[in-house]
Amino acid sequence: MVGELTILVVSNQKGGVGKTTTAISLGAALVEQGERVLIVDLDPQANATSGLGISKAPPNPVYGLILKERPIEESIVSTAVPGLDIVPSGPDMAGAEVELVPLLAREYRLRTALGSTREYDTVLVDCPPSLGLLTINALTAGDAVIIPVQCEYYALEGLAQLLSTIEAVRARLNSHLDVLAIVLTMEDRRNRLSLEVIDEVRRIPRAVRLAEAPSHGLPISLYDRRSAAAQAYDDLAREVSARLRARAPIALGGAIA
């Protein structure tokens, strides 16, 4: 992975579990570690876009990229954080799931679009809350998936469905794909979920500062860098980097064999 582009997909078909917060906070933490990071906002709700303070974007950047095969350079907007860029979402994305259906190679659109990027170390794809074609595009493009899970009983049901979708993508579209981490978001003492059995789990505390940051258009690392939440995402970024490095020799061995 070192010196190469890594595409990380932040996905869970449940809404409100912390996907967008994780994409922004992890992206900013990776930038602090010296990486050049691009966030791709695939969600028609465009929360990552507004959460990074982007209001005036070129018209429908991610739509142009995926549906119209517009060059990626024309779709990228810089944020208040040097080293952190975004392909913003916009209103046209509401129809994208349907418009993708009749297209040729419809699952490979994002993968093709990102193929020409050389400017970044990591691309973080913020998925919509569904397992439709946009999410399939992300999984087909990705090296690894990060799954935010909220600490509640029903989380595990959704997780099984997501893991079987990932398995299907791995079998048919992208054999390279891995689940890198399950992140337990909004953890508090009242609501512990016994996910200890899964060793991939990291924990992010419930923190008001994290919920406030998007209205200021800033990632937590800039909004309140001393907060426990900023520290937690910093730790997550370190662990993600370490896991990707640990993976690299395996890929290399595979290539040699």
Residue 211 binds ligand ADP (CB under 6 A): yes
Q: How many CA atoms lie within 13 A of 111 on its CB side?
A: 18
* Closest CA relative to residue 73, chosen from 116, 110, 27: 116
Give the separation between CA 2 and CA 18, rounded to whole angstroms: 28
Give the separation between CA 64 and CA 255, rounded to whole angstroms: 34
**Contact characters 124-163, ligand ADP, x per CB under 6 A:** -----x----------------------------------
Residue 203 binds ligand ADP (CB under 6 A): no
**176 or 238, CB closer to ligand ADP?**
238
Which of 162, 207, 236, 237 contacts ligand ADP by CB under 6 A?
A: 207
**50 or 112, CB closer to Mg ion?**
50
Residue 26 binds ligand ADP (CB under 6 A): no
Which of 6, 79, 185, 221 contacts ligand ADP by CB under 6 A?
A: 185
Give the separation between CA 19 and CA 12, rounded to whole angstroms: 7
The residue range among 54-62, 66-74, 82-90, 202-210 that interacts with ligand ADP, by the rule CB under 6 A, is 202-210
Q: Which residues pair with 145 in a beta bridge?
A: 9, 179
SS3 state of residue 71: coil
Contact 13, 135 (CB under 8 A): yes
SS3 state of residue 40: strand
Residue 39 binds ligand ADP (CB under 6 A): no
Which of 4, 15, 119, 161 contacts ligand ADP by CB under 6 A?
A: 15
* Closest CA relative to residue 140, chosen from 102, 103, 160, 113: 113
**Contact characters 18-57, Mg ion, x per CB under 5 A:** -xx--------------------------x----------
CB of 216 to ligand ADP, least distance (A): 12
Give the separation between CA 82 and CA 73, rounded to whole angstroms: 17
The residue range among 10-18, 27-35, 93-101, 131-139 that interacts with ligand ADP, by the rule CB under 6 A, is 10-18
CB of 199 to ligand ADP, least distance (A): 21
Q: What is the CA radius of gyration of the chain?
A: 17
Q: Is 228 exposed, middle or buried (0-12, 13-18, 19+ CB in 10 A)?
A: middle
Residues that bind ligand ADP (CB under 6 A): 15-21, 47, 129, 185-186, 204, 206-207, 210-211, 214, 229
Residues that bind Mg ion (CB under 5 A): 19-20, 47
